[in-house]
Amino acid sequence: MPIAFREWAVTVRALAEGEQLVTLRKGGIRESGKSFRLAHERFFLYPTFDHQRGDLVRESHQPELRRALEEGVWSDGEPLLQAFASGLPVAQPDRVRIRAWAEVAGHFTVTDPRCVDALAPFYVWTTDYATRRLGWRRQQPLHVLLLRTYRIPRPVTVKVRDEYAGAQAWIELQRELPFEGTPVLSDAEFERASEEIRSITSEAVQPVFA
């Protein structure tokens, strides 16, 4: 069964539109040792709606919050945008749409908040929120994943299952999906951005791989 990586719906949308190139991880309570491990280097992007707050997304990307609602399918209708954007609890969707997959083009660990700030052009969250991700469990470094994202030809709707929930990075989808599609950025665009990201992270700490 295909592996998927859980991220906020607004983040998945930004990755699928080429507006975000990195994701930042420390680990979740359901992960071994409560620390992040790069267990897979190619995976589908699974949108989640837990703990997502509009004030943690930069003002320039606030419109993405409304579009992120398109990543879920609710039998009783979409939740109100105001509740969704504020981070208030919302009913979880019955199904979610998988529209993209990614491969890891670089994996770095950082401990310097200045590095997190410098990476801001490559994520849609506020720098304050990104820095808080660094500060959580200070004894552990922050993992920076540089992702090359591909849009699949047609979004696929998958049923939301209980085992997909919770603070975990990786889930196993209960249906087959093909790794096919078109990269969201051209080779030249991605290479230019990748060089800048590698330059930023190399000043902070050596990459795990690049």
* pLDDT at res. 35: 67
Domain region containing 29: 3-209
Facing residues of 107 across strands? 145, 209
Q: Give tens-digit pLDDT for 184-208.
A: 999 999 999 999 999 999 865 544 5
Rounded distance, CA 186 to CA 194, Å? 12
* pLDDT at res. 29: 39
* pLDDT at res. 27: 60
50 or 210: which carries more pLDDT confidence?
50
The answer to whether 49 and 92 have CB atoms below 8 angstroms apart is yes
* pLDDT at res. 11: 94
The answer to whether 34 and 27 have CB atoms below 8 angstroms apart is yes
Q: Give tens-digit pLDDT for 73-131.
A: 998 877 777 767 676 777 789 999 999 999 999 999 988 899 999 999 999 999 998 88
* pLDDT at res. 79: 74
Q: Among residues 62, 50, 44, which one has the least CA distance to residue 9? A: 50
Domains held by the chain: number: 1
**For residue 202, what are the CA distances in angstroms to 88, 110, 118, 206?**
38, 9, 12, 6
127 or 52: which carries more pLDDT confidence?
127
Report the DSSP pairing between strands 182-183 and 142-159.
Answer: antiparallel
Which CATH number does the domain housing residue 46 bear?
2.30.130.30
Q: Give tens-digit pLDDT for 130-188.
A: 888 887 777 788 899 999 999 999 999 999 998 888 778 899 998 889 899 999 999 99
- Exposed, middle or buried, 65 (CB in 10 Å: 0-12/13-18/19+)? buried
- How sure is the predictor about 30, in pLDDT bands with cuts at 50, 70 and 90? very low
The answer to whether 185 and 90 have CB atoms below 8 angstroms apart is no
The residue written with tokens 């994943």 in the block is: 145
